[in-house]
């Protein structure tokens, strides 16, 4: 019985941990990430260690990322740009800030 509860809690913990590394973000205009231009739309952001993978359909971009924690939770998800280059994504409902390195030249 105890073993079953332990496995159940471990499964729940893994599900929560994996959910924390995946977010959705909407770009309202074309943006550049790691040298690739992304069209407006909703994308899934997956974080694995120091790498972010951003996906929408067949469009997939990988970029180095630094995950930081803010003092307070962000009310909504927002994107900080330098021109069209994605610098940061603040994840709504969390204290998570994704900081992207400036790399590459925009390509389509």
Contact 37, 107 (CB under 8 A): yes
Q: What is the pLDDT of residues 24-54, one digit of tens each?
A: 999 999 999 999 999 999 999 999 999 999 9
Dihedral angle computed from the Cα positions of residues 87, 50, 14 and 97, in that order, rounded to the nearest 10 degrees: -20
The 3-state secondary structure of 74-97, one letter per residue? ECCCEEEEECCEEEEEECECCCEE
Tokens describing residue 35: 């040298």
Contact 54, 41 (CB under 8 A): no
Domain ranges, ordered by start, for the chain: 23-100
Does the pTM surpass 0.85? The reply is no
Q: What is the pLDDT of residues 41-87, one digit of tens each?
A: 999 999 999 999 999 999 999 999 999 999 999 999 999 999 999 99
């Amino acid at each position: 019985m105890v073993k079953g509860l332990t496995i159940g809690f471990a499964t729940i913990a893994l599900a929560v941990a994996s959910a924390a590394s995946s977010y959705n973000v909407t770009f309202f205009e074309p943006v550049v990430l790691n040298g690739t231009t992304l069209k407006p739309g909703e994308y899934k952001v997956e974080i694995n260690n120091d790498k972010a993978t951003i996906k929408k359909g067949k469009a997939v971009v990988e970029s180095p990322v630094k995950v930081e924690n803010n003092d307070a939770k962000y009310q909504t998800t927002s994107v900080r740009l330098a021109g069209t280059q994605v610098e940061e994504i603040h994840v709504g409902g969390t204290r998570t800030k994704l900081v992207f390195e400036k790399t590459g030249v925009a390509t389509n």
